[in-house]
Amino acid sequence: MVATKPIRIMIADDHPILRDGVAVLLESQPDMLLVGEASDGADAVRRYAALRPDVTLMDLQMPGMGGVAAIRAIREDYPRARILVLTTYDGDAQAAEALRAGAAGFLLKTTLRRELLDTIRVIHAGRRHVPAAIAQQIALHAGDESLSAREQAVLALVAEGLANKEVAWELGVAEDTIKTHLKNIFAKLGVSDRTLAVTTAMRRGILSGAASPN
């Protein structure tokens, strides 16, 4: 009887504790082998090219090159790469972007201990895995108009507590231009004020790690 080769796995996450936790889960599985770790997106791209793992576990929020950019870079050179996104929230914006970049599925970090092993096998078998909460959010906002890069930059500064005049100074534009951007942001997000714009954007994954506006 020919022995089945183990699923070769790489993990990219900037938190060593999480990487260690995943390693512990994998080491007890005879059909899985952890072959490499990366602490940021650029490192993940380099290590993928060197290791060619069967399944890559990819965090989205990492310093420097983030997960979505890393997925896009890997899939550009290796279209058959199977990448499972690990995420801490069920927002739709980055999830949809990661799918467009080539991710094969998602797993909430809160469910790693219960679902990681089975999900790796699903992804390795060529299927997709999208938790119901994420799929529902993607479907709910599928027809929404996305914020432009400039609108995201404006909202990020608003999230830091800057007034319109300060945002305008930071971006080198007129204050009226910022007011116009905010009006468009409110319309796209379906909100009526700055605080709701920031909290909605953070919940959906459009913004991350930002503070609430003053």
Q: What is the pLDDT along the chain (214 residues), one digit of tens a residue?
A: 445 899 999 999 999 999 999 999 999 899 999 999 999 999 999 999 999 999 999 998 888 898 999 999 999 999 999 999 998 876 767 788 888 899 999 998 888 889 999 999 999 999 999 888 888 878 777 667 788 889 989 999 999 999 999 999 999 999 999 999 999 999 988 889 999 989 888 877 787 643 333 3
The token pair at 114 is 């219960």
| Start-end of CATH 1.10.10.10 domains in the chain | 149-204
Give pTM, 2 decimals: 0.73
B/e letters for 161-179, b = 16+ CB within 10 Å, e = fewer, are ebebeebbeeeeeeeebbe
pLDDT at residue number 120: 96
Q: Give the whole-angstrom CA distance, residue 172 versus residue 151.
A: 14
Looking at the structure, give the CATH architecture of the domain made up of residues 149-204.
Answer: Orthogonal Bundle (1.10)
* Contacts of residue 102, Cβ cutoff 8 Å, sequence gap at least 6: 71, 72, 74, 75, 79, 81, 83
Q: Which residues sit opposite 85 in a β-bridge?
A: 58, 106
| Start-end of CATH 3.40.50.2300 domains in the chain | 7-140
pLDDT at residue number 149: 85
Q: What is the CATH number of domain 7-140?
A: 3.40.50.2300
